[in-house]
Amino acid sequence: MRTRLPRYGAAILVVLVALAGVFYVKYRSPWYESRVTIAFVTTTTGFHGQLYDHFSDNQVFTAIAAGRLFDNPRTRAEIRALGGHARLTFDVAHWGNEEVPVYDQPYATVRSVSQDPVESRRTLDIALKLLTDRLKGWQTSSGANGKLMITWQPIDTIVGPVPQSLQINRASAGLMAIGGLLALWAAATVGRLTSRRRTTATA
């Protein structure tokens, strides 16, 4: 009985340490994310959260152009020069289907991720201001003005900066590690018990 208690205590300690590691990896990530989903609209249509066919091909083309703008290394360099050093992504959604959050409407999700929460939000704000300036510049240079101007509006409030959890597969890997440790402990215990029985039988 006395020999079993240390073994069980060691096994419990191993499990607790491994679980602590899993939860640390999953919930204590040092990265922070700021994000917002935006729709491309005109002042003639307005925006009230749900639009059905109230957009033109120009709005779709504008969404595509905005996506290419933020894919351009020169744009990213410009954002860094303005003080935005977080990792930025600009994902234009598919349209012509029933994807949420807006049916059949061109929209995009803008994200910035950094280990500094202030940097995360600052980069997002810089990117949105740059988008506003570029949209206006593209259209005024083409002669557009007033109610024909395409702009962006947030579909929801800006989220963040919030802690970004690491990928769930890392936590799964931690659980697999726990299983492996328990399997090794069980095999070692069975081996010791078998060896003792053989020794006792021989004696």
Task: Indicate the average pLDDT of the chain.
Answer: 74
- Match 């890392």 to its residue by tokens: 170
Q: Are residues 156 and 75 in the same domain?
A: yes
Q: Are residues 45 and 116 in the same domain?
A: yes
pLDDT tens digits for range 82-105: 999 999 999 887 555 444 445 456
Domains identified in the chain, total number? 2
Q: What is the mean pLDDT of residues 165-170?
A: 52
Q: What is the extent of the structural domain holding 188?
A: 4-27+167-202
Length of the chain: 203
Q: Are residues 66 and 111 in the same domain?
A: yes
Q: Are residues 96 and 74 in the same domain?
A: yes
Q: Are residues 159 and 172 in the same domain?
A: no
Provide the percentage of residues in the chain whose pLDDT is more than 90. 27
Name the pLDDT band for 60 (thresholds 50, 70, 90): confident
Q: Are residues 54 and 139 in the same domain?
A: yes
Residue 188 or 32, more confident: 32
In order, the DSSP letters of 14-52 are: HHHHHHHHHHHHHH--S-EEEEEEEEEEETTT---S--S
Which pLDDT score is estimated for 10?
60
Q: Are residues 9 and 95 in the same domain?
A: no
Q: Are residues 84 and 131 in the same domain?
A: yes
Q: Are residues 56 and 22 in the same domain?
A: no
Provide the percentage of residues in the chain whose pLDDT is more than 70. 53
- Match 């101007």 to its residue by tokens: 149
- Write the burial class of residue 166 (CB in 10 Å: 0-12 exposed, 13-18 middle, 19+ buried): middle
Name the pLDDT band for 78 (thresholds 50, 70, 90): very high
Name the pLDDT band for 153 (thresholds 50, 70, 90): confident
Which pLDDT score is estimated for 144?
73
Q: Are residues 76 and 98 in the same domain?
A: yes
Most confident option among 17-26, 126-135, 137-146: 126-135
Quote the CA–CA distance of 38 and 128 in Å, as a whole number: 10
Q: Which amino acid is at 189?
A: T
Query: What CATH number is associated with residue 138?
Result: 3.30.70.1130
Which pLDDT score is estimated for 93?
77
Name the pLDDT band for 51 (thresholds 50, 70, 90): very low
Q: Are residues 46 and 132 in the same domain?
A: yes
Q: Are residues 127 and 96 in the same domain?
A: yes
Residues sharing a CB contact under 8 Å with residue 121, sequence separation 6 or more, in sequence order: 34, 112, 158, 160, 161
